[in-house]
Amino acid sequence: MILNFFSKGEKSHYSRLKIQDDDDGHLIYVPGDVLKSRYKIKRTLGEGTFGKVVEVKDSFEDRSRIALKIIKNVDKYREAAKLEINVLKTIKDRDPIGKYLCVHILDWFDFHGHICIAFEMLGLSVFDFLKENNYVPYPIHQVRHLIYQLCIAVKFLHDNELTHTDLKPENILFVNSDYDIVYNVRKKRDERVVKNTHIRVIDFGSATFDWEHHSTVVSTRHYRAPEVILELGWSQPCDVWSIGCILFELYLGFTLFQTHDNMEHLAMMERILGPIPYRMAKRTRKTKYFYRGRLDWDERSSAGRYVRENCKPLRRYMLSDEEEHKNLIDLIENMLEYDPDKRISLAKALEHAFFDPLPIHLKHEDDFKLKTRSKTP
Q: What domain range includes position 185?
A: 124-374
Last residue of a domain, one of 120, 136, 151: 120
Q: Do 72 and 112 share a domain, yes or no?
A: yes
Residue 96 maps to a domain: yes
Q: Do 319 and 359 share a domain, yes or no?
A: yes
pLDDT at 373: 52
Q: Do 128 and 115 share a domain, yes or no?
A: no
Residue 169 maps to a domain: yes
Last residue of a domain, one of 97, 120, 143: 120
Residues contributing to the annotated binding site: 69
Active site residue 166: yes
Instruction: Tell if the pTM clears 0.75, that is, is over it.
Output: yes
Residues contributing to the annotated binding site for ATP: 69
Mean pLDDT of 136-144: 97
Last residue of a domain, one of 120, 154, 180: 120
pLDDT tens track for 210-254: 999 999 999 999 999 999 999 999 999 999 999 999 999 999 999
Angle between helices 140-159 and 323-335 (to 10 degrees): 30
How many domains does the chain fold into?
2
Counted residue by residue, the chain has a size of: 377
pLDDT at 17: 54
pLDDT tens track for 265-297: 999 999 999 999 999 998 987 778 998 889 999
Q: C-alpha angle 367/178/134, rounded to 5°? A: 100
Q: Do 72 and 141 share a domain, yes or no?
A: no
> Sign of dihedral through CA atoms 72, 258, 171, 370?
positive
Helix (H, G, I), strand (E, B) or coil at 139: coil
Q: Does the pLDDT at position 84 exceed 50? A: yes
d(CA 16, CA 280): 62
Read off the DSSP letter of residue 22. Answer: -
Catalytic option among 166, 210, 298, 366: 166
pLDDT at 187: 83
Q: Do 187 and 298 share a domain, yes or no?
A: yes
